[in-house]
Each structure stands twice: as structure tokens, then as C-alpha cells.
A and B are shown apart, each in its own frame.
Chain A
Amino acid sequence: MSGPAITRGLSTMAGLACVLLIGLLILPVVALAWSSSPSAMLAGLTHPMFAPALVLSLRTTLCSLTLTVALGTPLAWWLAVSDSRTARAVAVLVDLPIVIPPAVMGVALLQTFGRQGLLGPLLGSIDVAVPFTDSAVIIAQLVVSAPFFVQAAANAFAKVDADTLIVARTLGASAPAAFFRVAVPIALPGLVAGASLAWARALGEFGATLLFAGNMPGSTQTMPLAIFSALESDVQLAVVFSLVLSALGVMLLAGLRVLPTVMYAARSR
């Protein structure tokens, strides 16, 4: 028997909604691919703006991802195991950059690290200027992307049975050994998924970077900013840059979907 008659009208509407949304999600990517040509691709990939922007994007996102994982893992662990009120409050604070628009984060970062900002005098006294440098690019990426990792990692750690860690300790493992040899491997699929999400978010970061780091070719012009600049002079160039960034995103998404499945499959074999 097919679906129940009482929801038949509803399922037609739901089907229409699905088609509409899927179309809206996929169509722009198709249009992007459609509007380019091999000769335009070649011209775009050899454009003097392309290589520096791609290298800067990869270098800064690698830095911000490393920092996110190094600083975010202990925080995620604490959020997962603590049931204190402080931990619950911190969990909400960590999510703030997700709900605050990136442009607002850019202004907020200027107000923190800028010459007139909160830390301005302190940084000035040791002769350090952060805004409009590649450090600013990394900080902007870190701030907007870390919450995605911390959230995913905390969820993954929360699923690690406390008893497995107690057992590990009774078997001779110190607390750090139990964490790295039991908790981290068990939570690894979630940690990898969170890190991939954070990397994707950092790679696409635009608003906060533009306001806090500027758009200077070679030093702060990442791929999204290069697209923005290219669009002002040559739409075809912007299309090529966009296709490269999309390809990176697609590879990431594929990895994100496939890797945890592969890891779980390997485990249950």
C-alpha cells in the first residue's frame, strides 16, 4: 500500500517544497559551472591575483584550523564533562559568533585589537599591530569558525562513556593517557567532522576579514576577497575563482560525509 490517504495532499505540497529548495540550492552551482569556459578557466588560473589569494587562503586556514583544534579540544572536553552552571554559560558564549553576523564580528575585532581598541594600548606598547595583517586574517577565521568545532567536539566527547575512562585509569593509564588513548579515539569521527566544518567556514570567511584585515593582494586578500575584487572588473575571473573555491568546498563535504562512515565501518568490522 502507498502512503496513507489523509496525508496525500500534504505530501504533494511537501514534494513541491523539496523540489523548489533543492533547485535553489543546486542551480547557482550549475550556473557557475555553465558560465565558464576552458579558455576563461586558463586565463583565471594564470591571473596574477589567483595564486597569492589561494596560497594565502590555504596558509591562513591551516593556521586557524590548527589553533582551533589545539585550543578548542580542551574547551570542548570541559564543556562535555562539566555539569556546572559556568560550563553551561560558557557553552552559550562560545556559540555567540555563530549568531552574530560576520561583519559585526569584524567591527568587534577592530574594537578589540585596533589602535583605539580595548587591547590597543597594550599591543602598541609592545609595538604589535594586528589589524590589516595576515594575523588579523587568522584571528577573524578563528573567531568565526572555532564555535563549529567546539560544538561538534563537545557533542562527540559527551558520548564517550565515563566508565571507559575509569577503566582505562584502573588499567594503569594516567589522566592524560586515558584522554588521548581512549576519549580522543572514540570521539574522533565527531572531532574530524567538527574540524572539517570549521575549516569550511574559515575558508569562506569574508565579512569579518574584510573589515578587520582589509583586502590587500598578497597579504590579506583571501579567495573570497579576491572574488569580491575580481567581480568589480571581470565577471569571468570571479566565476573561475568561485569555481575553485566551490571545488574545495565539495571535496571537503565529500570528505566530511565519507570519512566518519569509513571510520565507523572500520571499527565495527
Chain B
Amino acid sequence: MSRWSATVKARLGGFLLHVDLEAQDASIVALIGANGSGKTTFLRAVAGAVIPEIAEITVEQTVLSSTQAGLHVPMEHQRIGYLPQGYGLFSHLNVIDNVAFGLSTGRRRQGRAQRQDQARRVLQDLGCEALAERRIGGLSGGEQQRVALARALVIEPQLLLLDEPLAALDATTRRKVRGMLAARLANIPCPTIMVTHDVRDIAALDAHVVVLEQGRVVQSGALQTLQSAPATEFVAEFVGPH
């Protein structure tokens, strides 16, 4: 039985995005590919933010999207954690209210004290409870990333989507945050799809790699497999020595 599976077909600019992925466990799938190869569109389709021509998405045996069955569970009724590029933090709320947002609305709504406690616990798990009362504008890139991760985790997602979670950071911070992110994700029993541009992210997170080119999966497997037998020039260049 798979933890999640996603088939997405969508017309994208000059080509057809056609991705068909699944995972049996809580492992991390790293989606790589050149700019405009359809990675972000795929993530957004899985999150339910865009409805492609064809979508068959199942998470934990629950069908979230099925073009065949004419079914699309509204985004707010799914339990998918989404970390966009740039994190999409709510600049008008402080850190604790950002993290507690998912417990302040819709079906998961709780009382103020209760949701703040819960948010504080998640912040604590990520080692950043000291940020709770801070404003978003005053956070460093690494802090923003952790707050965004906490905000996504507060709803106890069944699937976590990370869109280039390290891209907004400078080189030094990226190295540090990469290590922390790897440690956190290893402790979360939640399958993850991560879009990345950096082979070092894959190595650190021990992720299963899926390579997209022009909307198609050209190769997938462990990093070592891709390194020893790259299927295309892009794969060779991507996994090659940096």
C-alpha cells in the first residue's frame, strides 16, 4: 500500500507536464529539473492550488483529486503542508500567530489559548520557541524557514511539500540550515516531496531523486545510481562533481 501517489498531466507553455509518482513510506522525494520544467506546478497541483487537466492524487488511502471520478477535495479540507519558495509567511502576524494560523480557521479551529500552546510546542520541537513573539520582518532567512516549517507541521500533515526550501538563503546559512532541516525531517513521520536545485540537499536528506525535463520524468532513483549511470546530459551535469 502506498503512502501517497500522484499523477498530474497539465499543459504548460510549450510542453505537456506528465508526472506519475508514488512512495511506500515516509521518505523524501527530491524533484529536480531546470527552471520551467514543471516542478512548482506539480507541487501546486498536489497541494490542490491548481487543477490540471488530469490529476489522480491519493494520500494515505484518501483520494484528494481524481479527474476520472470528477472529485477534487477543497484545499482547506486536505492535510497537506506546503512551504512555497520564499516561505509565504504572513507579514501582518507575529511568529506564534503564523504558526497557530492552521488551528485558527476551518475544521481544525481551536480556542486561542489551545492553539497557541500547540504552536509553541511545534516551535519548541524545531528549537525556535524564542522567536514566538517576534515579527516576521525581523527574522533571518533561516529563522523564516523554520517558522514556515513549524506553520506547515502544526496541522500534522499527511504529506509535506517543500519548494526550494534553501534557495532563499546565503551560502553559509544554507549549509547550516540544510543540516538542521535534514535532522528535523528525519524525525517527522511524514512523507515529503522537495523541489531543489542543489545536489547537496539530496545528499544531506538522503532523498530519492526524480529528474524532470520538459515536464517528463527522465530518471529516478538513489543519488548514487544517478551518479553512476546518468540518463541524460542534464542529470550528469546535476549530479556530477561540484
What is A's interface to B at a CB cutoff of 8 Å? 161, 163-164, 166-174, 177, 181-182, 185-186, 188, 267-269
CB-CB under 8 A from B108, the residues of chain A are 172
CB-CB under 8 A from B152, the residues of chain A are 167, 170-171
Main secondary structure of the interface of A (DSSP, over half): helix
8 A-B pairs with least C-beta separation = A172-B106, A268-B137, A163-B84, A171-B102, A163-B88, A169-B75, A185-B92, A164-B88
Separation in Å of the B90 CB from the closest CB of chain A? 6
> Which of A167, A173, A174, A188 is B82 in contact with, Cβ under 8 Å?
A167
Assess whether A173 is in contact with B105, with CB atoms less than 8 Å apart: yes
CA distance A248 to B80 in the complex (A): 51
CB-CB under 8 A from B48, the residues of chain A are 169-170
Closest to A268 in B: B137
**Given A173-B105, A177-B105, A164 and B90 touching (CB < 8 A)?**
yes
**Given A169-B75, A170-B47, A171-B155, A164 and B89 touching (CB < 8 A)?**
yes
Per the CB 8 Å criterion, the residue count for chain B at the interface is 36
Indicate if B176 sits at the interface (CB-CB under 8 A): no
Closest to A184 in B: B92
Assess whether A267 is in contact with B105, with CB atoms less than 8 Å apart: no
Assess whether B105 is in contact with A268, with CB atoms less than 8 Å apart: no
In chain B, positions 7-60 with a C-beta closer than 8 Å to chain A are: 44, 47-49
Separation in Å of the A268 CB from the closest CB of chain B? 4
Assess whether B105 is in contact with A170, with CB atoms less than 8 Å apart: no
Most chain-A CB neighbours within 10 Å: which of B44, B48, B88, B154?
A: B88
**Given A167-B151, A267-B135, A188 and B92 touching (CB < 8 A)?**
yes
Indicate if B214 sits at the interface (CB-CB under 8 A): no
CA distance A31 to B119 in the complex (A): 60
Assess whether A268 is in contact with B138, with CB atoms less than 8 Å apart: yes
Assess whether B82 is in contact with A186, with CB atoms less than 8 Å apart: no
Indicate if B86 sits at the interface (CB-CB under 8 A): yes
CB-CB under 8 A from A268, the residues of chain B are 135, 137-138
